[in-house]
């Protein structure tokens, strides 16, 4: 069964760092394109970051230089390292598998709250 499970969310102070994990089962992370998408409370979806199977990474302007997407092939897990966190980064963070079909498989999301 294809499944994505995000963990690592929580309450963090402004300026702090947090690492989100997305454990994948049913397919191989390293062979697929993967992405992070976030949704602020009561707001719409926002694309955050993307990693190609070859390892190239891309970011939205809003997080560039502060967030880093990566993967551990041995653990079949995707990560999002978030630094210099701001109140506006407060959101549910989803990981998703990306194909030519679009964002076709999504996790259940993990909540990140940036507040003092």
- From 9-17, 20-28, 42-50, 72-80, span contacting another protein (CB under 8 A): 42-50
Q: Which is nearer to another protein, 55 or 74 (CB)?
A: 55
Beta bridge partners of 105: 97
The pair of three-digit structure tokens given for residue 61, joined into one six-digit string? 């302007």
* 40 binds another protein, rule: CB under 8 A: no
Q: How far is the CB of 74 from another protein (least distance, A)?
A: 25
Angstrom distance (rounded) from CA 33 to CA 5 = 16
Contacts of 10 (CB under 8 A, 6+ apart): 18, 111, 112, 113
Under rule CB under 8 A, which residues in 76-115 are in contact with another protein?
Answer: 94, 100-104, 106-109
């Amino acid at each position: 069964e294809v499944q994505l499970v995000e963990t690592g969310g929580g309450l963090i102070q402004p300026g702090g760092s947090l690492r989100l994990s997305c454990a994948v089962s049913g397919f191989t992370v390293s062979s697929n394109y993967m992405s992070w998408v976030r949704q602020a409370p009561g707001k719409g979806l926002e694309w955050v970051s993307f990693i190609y199977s070859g390892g190239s990474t891309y970011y939205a302007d809003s997080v560039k230089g502060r967030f880093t997407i990566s993967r551990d092939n041995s653990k079949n897990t995707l990560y999002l390292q978030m630094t210099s966190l701001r109140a506006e980064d407060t959101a549910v963070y989803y990981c998703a598998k990306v194909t030519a079909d679009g964002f076709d498989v999504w996790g259940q999301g993990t909540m990140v709250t940036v507040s003092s």
